[in-house]
Amino acid sequence: MLRATGIRFSADFAQLRKRTGQLLAKLRGVIRSTENELARLKKDEAMLSTLAGERAVASRRPVGLRPRRTSRINWTNVLGQMPSQFRARDVRKIRGVQNKRSSEIFAAITRWIEAGSVKRKKRGVYERAQPRKNRKAA
């Protein structure tokens, strides 16, 4: 008799899980459609405020999202701030480059090497190339 009760519990639990999954799927659909409607309304608001000559009201940013910086790094200026010998960690000390990924920093160093602006001394150590002097025929 105890065994029959266990089977009944399993069947009820499976039915509960199935119903919960259905409700969750329906809720996700409602959330998605509401978000789409909100995006459309914000777009309409921005268009109407532009027509009215007003600036759109800045909405609060969603929790968990960081604002992206749109300014680009001038890597030539970064190279100009480097000492004659430097490491990749020295590049990261330059203002504006602290939050760049390592791949972006090493890509910049590779471009400098290919351009002849930097020479690789040994592993992890780089040296700025000496500027060429213009030779004029006398």
Does residue 9 form part of some domain? yes
Does residue 102 form part of some domain? yes
- Output the pLDDT for position 52: 84
Are 41 and 89 within one domain?
no
In this predicted structure, the answer to whether residue 9 has a pLDDT above a threshold of 90 is no
User: What's the CA gap between 137 and 104, in Å, rounded?
Assistant: 42
- Output the pLDDT for position 110: 93
Proportion of the chain above pLDDT 70, given as a percent:
79
The predicted-structure confidence for 56-87, as pLDDT tens digits, reads as follows 565 555 666 665 655 788 998 899 999 999 99
Partners of 49 in beta bridges: none
- Output the pLDDT for position 138: 47
Q: What b/e sequence results for 9-35 when a residue is b if at least 16 CB atoms lie within 10 Å of its CB, and e otherwise?
A: eeeeeeeeeeeeeeeeeeeeeeeeeee
Are 94 and 42 within one domain?
no
Are 1 and 33 within one domain?
yes
User: What's the CA gap between 131 and 56, in Å, rounded?
Assistant: 50
**Cβ 118 vs Cβ 112: under 8 Å:** yes
Does residue 116 form part of some domain? yes
Does residue 11 form part of some domain? yes
Q: What pTM did the predictor assign?
A: 0.46
CB burial of residue 79 (10 Å; 0-12, 13-18, 19+): buried
In this predicted structure, the answer to whether residue 31 has a pLDDT above a threshold of 90 is yes
Does residue 35 form part of some domain? yes
Does residue 13 form part of some domain? yes
CATH assignment of the domain containing 89:
1.10.10
pLDDT band at 134 (very low <50, low <70, confident <90, very high): low
**Cβ 86 vs Cβ 92: under 8 Å:** no
Does residue 68 form part of some domain? no
- Output the pLDDT for position 47: 87
For residue 81, give its domain range: 75-128
* CA proximity to 88, closest of 77, 73, 100: 100
Does residue 46 form part of some domain? yes
- Output the pLDDT for position 53: 82
Domain count, the chain: 2
